[in-house]
Amino acid sequence: MAAEQDPEGRAAARPLLTDLYQATMALGYWRAGRARDAAEFELFFRRCPFGGAFALAAGLRDCVRFLRAFRLRDADVQFLASVLLPDTDPAFFEHLRSLDCSEVTVRALPEGSLAFPGVPLLQVSGPLLVVQLLETPLLCLVSYASLVATNAARLRLIAGPEKRLLEMGLRRAQGPDGGLTASTYSYLGGFDSSSNVLAGQLRGVPVAGTLAHSFVTSFSGSEVPPDPMLAPAAGEGPGVDLAAKAQVWLEHVCAHLGLGVQEPHPGERAAFVAYALAFPRAFQGLLDSYSVRRSGLPNFLAVALALGELGYRAVGVRLDSGDLLQQAQEIRKVFRAAAAQFQVPWLESVPIAVSNNIDEEALARLAQEGSEVNVIGIGTSVVTCPQQPSLGCVYKLVAVGGQPRMKLTEDPEKQTLPGSKAAFRLLGSDGSLLMDVLQLAEEPAPQAGQELRVWPPGAQEPCTVRPAQLCEPLPSLAESRALVQLSLSQLSPEHRRLQSPAQYQVVLSERLQALVNSLHARASP
Amino acid sequence: MAAEQDPEGRAAARPLLTDLYQATMALGYWRAGRARDAAEFELFFRRCPFGGAFALAAGLRDCVRFLRAFRLRDADVQFLASVLLPDTDPAFFEHLRSLDCSEVTVRALPEGSLAFPGVPLLQVSGPLLVVQLLETPLLCLVSYASLVATNAARLRLIAGPEKRLLEMGLRRAQGPDGGLTASTYSYLGGFDSSSNVLAGQLRGVPVAGTLAHSFVTSFSGSEVPPDPMLAPAAGEGPGVDLAAKAQVWLEHVCAHLGLGVQEPHPGERAAFVAYALAFPRAFQGLLDSYSVRRSGLPNFLAVALALGELGYRAVGVRLDSGDLLQQAQEIRKVFRAAAAQFQVPWLESVPIAVSNNIDEEALARLAQEGSEVNVIGIGTSVVTCPQQPSLGCVYKLVAVGGQPRMKLTEDPEKQTLPGSKAAFRLLGSDGSLLMDVLQLAEEPAPQAGQELRVWPPGAQEPCTVRPAQLCEPLPSLAESRALVQLSLSQLSPEHRRLQSPAQYQVVLSERLQALVNSLHARASP
């Protein structure tokens, strides 16, 4: 089945979304008679992003969808033939036409679980030629998804559990799919909703949004709505002319606030009335198209109080410029005073939403004790991950034909760990994480309560650990999003710090360390 | 026609790839009887990216494709109905079903031309409801394309015209389409090629790639190729066993380099032989899977010299770790000495390709006078634009029903310029850029040689300028990529600086300034 016919449509990657060297290597393997050698690759990252001590694994569902649909179409093979040398053996292209992922096995960290440097997010095994071809698309699907989920989880940790976080970064993303991926995985990481409608349609992410400045400034105040009448919320009784009702309330509000009744912009008020006529049960005012204090706020109050008379409650206000924290305090004060003055208690707690290039630092300020901000919209800084716009995942060969493989480059950072491996997560008696152990797949699993000798990477000496509990396979929950919350709660406070000098330990088993040593010795005679 | 059936397939955005507030505002406009009011929006950015003084406009073709295909399908409308309130008038959804862009007009800077703050990249006019709905997808399609094209142009300016630049960032992109967009627009901005096969297939970008470390480390040296024989390049005469021939050359090479013949890794050599059998006319060696000096280089020379005997010339070597500049000098020295020793002059000039997280600073070092590096692969830093991962384009309403509109927020940075406008680019007598003038669409165009009074934004006084030439519409060339070269050559050295304190001037005409003043006065009585 072609990827494009997938029910989730264009979000699936195509087989040719790959680096050309995967295809040239495929020919090399094929020419060497090794296309079907059994191979295993691991996909992992080398450092936690953003200076923190954790990352979240994400993108697995996209990978599964990609692998299920993986097949080179005739047009794909023809394009490859046009790029490779003209005298390439046609039998190679026949082989490409026959490929699918039916012999590929993927083991993975569950979507939303904690991931640490060196621990594989994916372990991909199958025929050498095919699993090599998968490198680039799998990296592409996992790296950014994991990065943005981690970024969103950090923002959630900063915001605390109460604030509502809205992702609104589609326009800042790397084109259409960057936006779709960002919306999906920032929801996974802990955001409440997204502005991205397609993410709602294709991925079930809750979507949210009300109005922009263009809506407000498009009204001059001289427009005549075709039907200005609004029926009461309860559905009984006659409708009222909402614009006229708001005009009456405007006089009360201006008198209460000490403003001249001419000061609030008539176009802004007309826009609020128009929006309230369309969404009487979900009226939100965007306050800063003109002056917040002298126009946006009195206009909002006039329309909200007019709606209130009909039994509707406004659902919020939004600010998109200026000192958001301070304005929120002032607006809340005005809401409280107006609630008392006009005897409408619900007005006190109308949610205040803010946006405007909010990054981690600005979010910390908005989330501080006593803040009156309720909803925070974040675009650029969740979607582009400006602190570190790439996770830098790699996909490395660890075994061929059952034999361990290791990249022994002179750059120690780029060396790999050989062999088909298993990862275990060791827990203390309180359920918190102790460390991850990487060992060879054929080694017996560690046992709870038993002492274990392990090697921190690069260490000269092993150390011992006695886990109270352990998990393998890592816990798989129905709801990946719930897993994120569980995962984060397992981190020690030290590892949950966003700039963490103390990294979580990923250690090697004794036999894995011995294999590393032996391969080093063999390569440096 | 559904976007998915577009020949370029999933690269086109869908109509629901938009922020929900576009749909809620659509209902607001519709309910207010204003859906078909004539409106005009401008898409622009407020600051040049990366601290420089220029940007390139890009993404226009993607926008045109999107606009041509724009239509809400039944499933899209049903999804919107599920998100909006249940008592929404069904006639609104009928209206949505009828929408297309047949009444939308877009004026744009040509793909690849210079763009400056405040000058519209797109001017979009048409029925208010439709042009509002287009905001998010157009921003999504233009912002990142322009950002990455500008980033690529900066990297090209640093590299100079001679170095070959390969974009290889697919795995670091924001999912599949982020990668496709990045590859396309880094080529537009001045890169020579991309590793991304899909960008070749769908967009005609030249693709390049050879082999990765996994290919090298997948060989142990004990593999037996099914057919080790290679025919001479000229096609005449008997074939030879390439592995055996390389083994003979290895002894000469090791003697020449003062290495033991056991030192070079046999698996690496087997990999090179396998690759050379598949690509005898395009053999490249990846030198750093083990030790460059003691393994990669002698193995490469052995295979290259064996190929050379058959009339084939190796096309390059690649390094992916360590001090790339210094290693390139050393490798060139070895090539020169071996060329003399073995009397194969072509070996002297075998291209040296490098990669490994190359950013602007590292590129400047690799491009310095005397560098022996010929080809530079750049991934993360061209694709993710880490210096500034978002251009921050905005899409602002400037006129409705022929009346100018202006956002007069208290944040001066966020104020907009009112009215339907035209932009002119004034040139000096040598063809270099003087400044861009924004004026109202109905004003007469500036004339070459005639003095013009203009307002720098925010200035207290107008200034005068006498352009020798001017261009409106901005020059449209068949090849957008050629336009990029022309565009960059028009910049003064000061504006071409990558961290430029001197920004290119975008100024207002007298009448536009007068309109701004009058709207300010009207809003602040």
Give the distance from residue B129's alpha carbon to the nearest chain A alpha carbon, in angstroms. 10
Q: Read off the DSSP letter of residue B117.
A: T
- A16 vs B182: CB contact, 8 Å cut-off? no
Give the distance from residue A434's alpha carbon to the nearest chain B alpha carbon, in angstroms. 31
* Integer Cα distance of B493 and B499 in angstroms: 12
- B171 vs A139: CB contact, 8 Å cut-off? yes
Q: Taking CB atoms and an 8 Å cutoff, what residues of chain B touch A39?
A: 218
Single out the residue of A369, A310, A393 nearest to residue A144, CA to CA. Answer: A393
Single out the residue of A305, A330, A311 nearest to residue A319, CA to CA. Answer: A330
Minimum CA–CA partner of A3 in chain B = B10
Give B512-519's long-range contacts (Cβ < 8 A, gap of 24+): B512/B417, B512/B419, B512/B421, B512/B438, B512/B439, B512/B440, B512/B443, B512/B455, B513/B455, B513/B462, B515/B404, B515/B418, B515/B419, B515/B440, B516/B406, B516/B417, B516/B418, B519/B404, B519/B406, B519/B408, B519/B418
pLDDT tens, position by position, A375-388: 999 999 999 999 99
Q: Taking CB atoms and an 8 Å cutoff, what residues of chain A touch B23?
A: 197, 209
Identify the residue among B140, B354, B408, B413 best suited for mutation to test binding to A, counting A beta carbons within 10 A and taking the highest. B140
Q: Which amino acid is at A111?
A: E
pLDDT tens, position by position, B89-129: 999 999 999 999 999 999 888 888 888 899 999 999 999 99
Whole-model pTM? 0.89
Give the distance from residue B212's alpha carbon to the nearest chain A alpha carbon, in angstroms. 7
* Integer Cα distance of B318 and A21 in angstroms: 13
- A174 vs B181: CB contact, 8 Å cut-off? yes
Query: Does position B258 have pLDDT exceeding 80, yes or no?
Result: yes
- B84 beta partners: none
B20-32 average pLDDT score: 94
Q: Which residue has the tokens 């797109």?
A: B122
Structure confidence at residue A70 (pLDDT): 93
* Integer Cα distance of A219 and A213 in angstroms: 10
Q: Taking CB atoms and an 8 Å cutoff, what residues of chain B touch A171?
A: 19, 135-136, 139-140, 143, 393
- A174 vs B23: CB contact, 8 Å cut-off? no
Structure confidence at residue A2 (pLDDT): 31
* Integer Cα distance of B80 and B77 in angstroms: 5
Helices (H), A134-287: 135-159, 175-188, 197-203, 213-217, 242-257, 266-278
Give the distance from residue A89's alpha carbon to the nearest chain B alpha carbon, in angstroms. 9
Minimum CA–CA partner of A272 in chain B = B28
> In the structure, what pLDDT confidence band is assigned to residue B387 with cuts at 50, 70 and 90?
very high
- B403 beta partners: B400
Single out the residue of A171, A174, A149, A177 nearest to residue A50, CA to CA. Answer: A149
* Integer Cα distance of A155 and A33 in angstroms: 50
CA dihedral (A491, A497, A500, A505) in degrees, to 10, reads 0
Structure confidence at residue B482 (pLDDT): 62
- B411 vs A291: CB contact, 8 Å cut-off? no
pLDDT tens, position by position, B149-165: 999 999 998 999 899 99
- B427 beta partners: B433, B469
Nearest to B32 among A274, A322, A414 (CB): A274
Q: Along the 525 residues of chain A, how does pLDDT read in single tens digits?
A: 233 333 444 445 788 889 999 999 999 999 999 999 999 999 999 999 998 888 899 998 889 889 999 999 999 999 999 999 888 899 999 999 999 999 999 988 888 888 889 999 999 999 999 999 999 999 999 999 999 999 999 999 899 989 999 999 999 988 778 888 999 999 998 899 999 999 998 888 999 999 999 999 999 999 988 889 999 999 878 899 999 999 999 999 999 999 999 999 999 999 999 999 999 999 999 999 999 999 999 999 999 999 999 999 999 999 999 999 999 999 999 999 999 999 999 999 999 999 999 999 999 999 999 999 999 999 999 999 999 999 989 999 999 998 988 877 667 777 788 899 988 888 888 877 788 889 998 888 889 899 999 988 878 889 999 988 876 544 433 355 566 666 667 777 777 676 767 777 777 778 778 777 777 777 665
Q: Are B85 and A282 in contact (CB under 8 A)?
A: yes
Query: Does position B325 have pLDDT exceeding 60, yes or no?
Result: yes
Structure confidence at residue B8 (pLDDT): 43
- B290 vs A523: CB contact, 8 Å cut-off? yes
Single out the residue of A357, A391, A319, A387 nearest to residue A169, CA to CA. Answer: A357
Nearest to B200 among A79, A219, A226 (CB): A79
Identify the residue among A141, A207, A321, A409 best suited for mutation to test binding to B, counting B beta carbons within 10 A and taking the highest. A409
Structure confidence at residue A477 (pLDDT): 31
Segment among A282-291, B289-298, B454-463 with least mean pLDDT: B454-463
Mean pLDDT, all residues of chain B: 88
Structure confidence at residue B406 (pLDDT): 80
pLDDT tens, position by position, A404-428: 888 776 677 777 888 999 888 888 8
* Structure tokens belonging to residue B36: 């078909």
- A218 vs B278: CB contact, 8 Å cut-off? no
Structure confidence at residue A4 (pLDDT): 34
Strands (E), B173-265: 193-194, 229-230, 240-241
* Integer Cα distance of A310 and A230 in angstroms: 8
Q: Are B57 and B112 in contact (CB under 8 A)?
A: yes
Q: Which residues contact A68 (CB under 8 A, 6 or more apart)?
A: A1, A101
Q: Taking CB atoms and an 8 Å cutoff, what residues of chain B touch A124?
A: none
Give the distance from residue B426's alpha carbon to the nearest chain A alpha carbon, in angstroms. 31
* Integer Cα distance of A42 and A438 in angstroms: 12
Structure confidence at residue A483 (pLDDT): 63
Q: Are B149 and B113 in contact (CB under 8 A)?
A: no
Q: Output b/e per residue, B170-196; b: 16+ Cβ within 10 A.
A: bbbbbbbbbbbbbbbbbbbbbbbbbbb
Q: Output b/e per residue, B349-368; b: 16+ Cβ within 10 A.
A: ebebbbbbebebebbeebbe
* Structure tokens belonging to residue B57: 């406009």
- A395 beta partners: A43
Structure confidence at residue B320 (pLDDT): 94
- A194 beta partners: A167, A207
Structure confidence at residue B486 (pLDDT): 66
Identify the residue among B218, B284, B291, B324 best suited for mutation to test binding to A, counting A beta carbons within 10 A and taking the highest. B218
More confident residue, A9 or B364: B364
Structure confidence at residue B207 (pLDDT): 93
Nearest to B177 among A175, A210, A392 (CB): A175
* Integer Cα distance of A264 and B406 in angstroms: 16
Minimum CA–CA partner of A224 in chain B = B32
The proportion of chain B whose per-residue pLDDT surpasses 90, expressed as a percent, equals: 63
More confident residue, B501 or A422: A422
